[in-house]
Amino acid sequence: MTSPTFIAEFADGVTTRMTCHCTADDLDLARGIKLSRAAYDSRIGQAPPPIVTARFVQPFSDETIRCYDSIELEAERSGCCQRAAPAADVTKLRLSEALTCVGNARRLRRAENFEEDRFDEEDDIVAELDAAEDILTDLGVFVSAAS
């Protein structure tokens, strides 16, 4: 079964479509908002404006499961994104973990390039880079919440 798609429209007219790991019976609005804001930042290269409308739709058919207005979205954003900044030691530890993941990905890539069999560890490399990206995204949420 494919997870529902979260469609968010930002105040400047940009729209994102993000597949959220949830079910139609248990929608994860906080995850949809987080993924949409990260996608906006990645695509546009700046902090996203507020989301004005959003909805979850069924995959492939785009049949609406649930719609959210700006009031519901602001209430959710206020509740899910207002975390205190981590202590400096925690931030350093998390950055170290991210660098370790990147280092592991580089090591796997070098091993793949030097092996005669040219074995395919692409999934392992991608997993390491995804882990690093998740850590850095999480730290980005902490940084934006602290400022």
75-90 pLDDT per residue, tens: 776 655 444 455 556 6
Give yes or no for a contact between 57 and 68, defined as CB atoms under 8 angstroms apart.
no
Give yes or no for a contact between 52 and 11, defined as CB atoms under 8 angstroms apart.
yes
- Poorest-pLDDT segment among 73-77, 107-111, 116-120, 126-130: 116-120
Mean pLDDT for 23-39 is: 90
- Name 40's bridge partners: none
Q: Is the pLDDT of residue 141 over 70?
A: no
Q: pTM for the full model?
A: 0.53
Mean pLDDT for 41-54 is: 89
Q: What distance in Å separates the CA atoms of residue 81 and residue 31, rounded to the nearest whole number?
A: 11
Give the strands of the sheet with 5-10, arranged side by side: 15-19, 5-10, 51-57, 64-68
Residue 129 has a pLDDT of: 76
